[in-house]
Amino acid sequence: MQAMNKRLILLAIALFTATRSFCAEPPRLIVQIVVGSMRAEDLGRYDANFGEGGFRRLMQGGTVYTDCRYDFQQTTTPVSLATLSTGALPSTHGIIGDRWVDYTSNGIVSLTDGRKGPGAYHLVAPTLSETLRRQNPESRTATVAAEAASAVMLAGRGGEVFWLDPVRCDWITSLYYAAGVPEWIDRSNDERYNLSYTSTEWRPLLDRERYVNTRNLQIVFPEKRGKRGETPRPEGGGLVLEDDYQRLLWTPAGNTAVLGLAKQLVAQYKLGEDATTDLLNICLDASRHISEAYGPESVEVEDMYYRLDRDLEDFLTFLFAQVKDGNVTVVLTSDHGTSPSYDLALEEPDRFNARQFEVIVNGFLNVRYGTGNWVVAYGDRGIWLNHNLIYERGLNLAEVQNEVAIFAMQFCGVSHALSATAMRSSYFGSGYARRMQNSFYPRRSGDVVINLMPGWIEEREACRSMSGSMYGYDTEVPLIFYGTGAGQLHVNRRVEMTSVAPTLARLAGITEPAAAEGDPLSEIVDL
């Protein structure tokens, strides 16, 4: 009897192990789709006009996380993409914006600039793509985005990486990644294929009454005779798109072009063909540009989502047909949300004048310590001081930083200001200071970092909405896993976006990127 029970127990263990092994089979291909400036609420807001095969397919058939956010203040595209790809906070991966100041030379350092063209020269932490290729040399990784910085931050070092040339709208890469683009991309470039997506006029996909949003600045609705109250013409304030690149990046055509190349990458590189997991990263930058130019309340943004929904349906249909047994995991998320349009506020609109702020701070330091070029630069909510001048005058750097932080708090629109010294010497375990500290990288961040009041954005030409704050409209984003490893589930607990890279690593059967700080999501990976 005991022997029989023992055999039954062993059999049960064997069956359990086999079941777990079967369930744990990694996907042949992981596809990460990042929709620029997509708010967490956008999928639900426009759901009624989505088709069945795009966003709705993912929402209804996948694991949907309803409370996801980036836990830092500097929610701009390169910073957030670096977090998404490495699983680390900016304080660890080192990306604090698209430029910063070298304290030794007082020179400006640009994020992707280097002698071999755009590349991940300044990314401190390894990405998921790098980790996958290092641990599984047979794995292939490919990344496509409209802009070089987006592609570089998602890819990291190595792999197949492509973005749009701002001059010709061709697909290009840099010597950092390869000697040139493949022959099949060359042929597409010669045919100027990307230009087939562009149009001289942006017309709506749907009838006017089907749109949720009411403000149209550029879209031209066809006139309906005999109907009073019809406003066929846009309100005005739309962009003047002067070249083909702008007609790609500031219209839905940019997303269509990126997804078009993504399909070719799957086919040409045979991604997902064998049992070794491959990775495809896609960043849809046009969505961000449209949101910034027209605002999240616009018909233009809404129409962009409906067109993207159709493009996504086409892409998903192709993807799951291309890969054997449909063994694919798709992740849909965003780099950040976006603020309400400043010119739709109940009170008279106002914006933060960064140039004026820079000049006035320098004037304050002139009065306080004598004439000099005290401020080297301002950018991405940080102000860099002239350390060489401070030391030449025999001043205490920490004291100067603290004085500037106190002075900055007197400006309209500034909600918080912290000095670099405070962030280096103190630990902020909660609240706004913690999120600002999570964005702080000592070797690069400014001497003083500010945060603007809710609803405030920096004053920029043709910009109604912007990211880069620690408020919910910037930090909260959608997150959906669909396909292999993802069941039909809605998860309401709080999820940090540092968990995405470790989750995908575990799903692929590799260890997580070395600097990753988030925990794998248990709903996707059975821990």
Average pLDDT over residues 210-235: 72
Tell me the pLDDT of the chain averaged across its residues: 92
Q: What is the pLDDT of residue 238?
A: 76
226, pLDDT greater than 70: no
What is the average per-residue pLDDT within 272-291?
97
pLDDT beyond 50 at 277: yes
CA 115 to chain centre: 25
User: Could you tell me if residue 64 is inside a domain?
Assistant: yes
Residues 149, 286 within the same domain: yes
Is 11 domain-assigned? no
The model's pLDDT over 46-62, given as tens digits with 9 standing for 90+, comes to 999 999 999 999 999 99
- CB atoms under 10 Å from CB of 412, counted, come to 12
Mean pLDDT of 499-523: 97
Q: Based on the domain organization, do 147 and 251 belong to the same domain?
A: yes
pLDDT at residue 235, rounded to an integer: 65
Number of domains in the chain: 2
Residue 42 lies in a domain: yes
Same domain, 43 and 186: yes
Is the CB of residue 467 less than 8 Å from the CB of residue 338?
yes
Say yes or no: 163 and 51 in one domain.
yes
Cβ–Cβ under 8 Å, residues 463 and 457: yes
DSSP 298: B
d(CA 174, CA 118): 6
Query: Could you tell me the two tokens for 289?
Result: 């540009």
Asked whether residue 401 falls in the same domain as residue 305, the answer is no
What percentage of the chain exceeds 90 in pLDDT? 85
Q: Please tell me the predicted confidence (pLDDT) of residue 200.
A: 85
In a domain, 116, yes or no: no
If asked whether residues 484 and 431 sit together in one domain, one would say no
pTM of the model: 0.93
Q: How far is CA 407 from CA 234, 362, 364, 410, 448, in A?
A: 43, 11, 8, 6, 11
Residues 311 and 385 in one domain: no
Same domain for 292 and 410, yes or no, is no
Q: Which two tokens stand for residue 399?
A: 């004291």
- pLDDT above 50 for 430: yes
How distant is the alpha carbon of residue 382 from its chain centre? Answer: 20
518 within some domain? no
| Between 309 and 462, the higher pLDDT residue | 309
Tokens of 104: 């030794």
pLDDT of residue 12: 44
- Residue 515 located in a structural domain: no
Query: Does residue 88 have a pLDDT over 80?
Result: yes
| C-alpha count within 13 angstroms, C-beta hemisphere, residue 463 | 17
CB atoms within 10 A of CB 14: 10
HSE value, Cβ hemisphere, 13 Å, CA-based, for 52: 0
Query: What CATH number did the domain enclosing 441 receive?
Result: 3.30.1360.150
Which residue segment(s) compose the domain that 400 sits in?
Answer: 354-452
Residue 348 pLDDT level (bands cut at 50, 70, 90): low
> How far apart are the C-alpha atoms of 178 and 527, rounded to whole Å?
38
Q: Are residues 189 and 337 in the same domain?
A: yes
Angle 394-448-93 from CA coordinates, rounded to 5° = 115
Q: How confident is the model at residue 429 (pLDDT cuts 50, 70, 90)?
A: confident
What CATH number is associated with residue 171? 3.40.720.10
Same domain, 316 and 175: yes
pLDDT band at 499 (very low <50, low <70, confident <90, very high): very high
| CA 429 to mean position of chain CA atoms | 26
Report the pLDDT value the prediction gives residue 207, as an integer from 0 to 100: 95
Residue given tokens 């702020």 in the structure block: 357
Looking at the predicted structure, is the pLDDT value of residue 96 above 50?
A: yes
Mean pLDDT of 239-255: 94
| Chain segment 435-464, per-residue pLDDT in tens | 999 999 999 999 999 999 999 999 998 899
112 found inside a domain: no
| 305 lies in the same domain as 386 | no
Are both 305 and 389 inside the same structural domain? no
Is 119 inside a domain boundary?
A: no
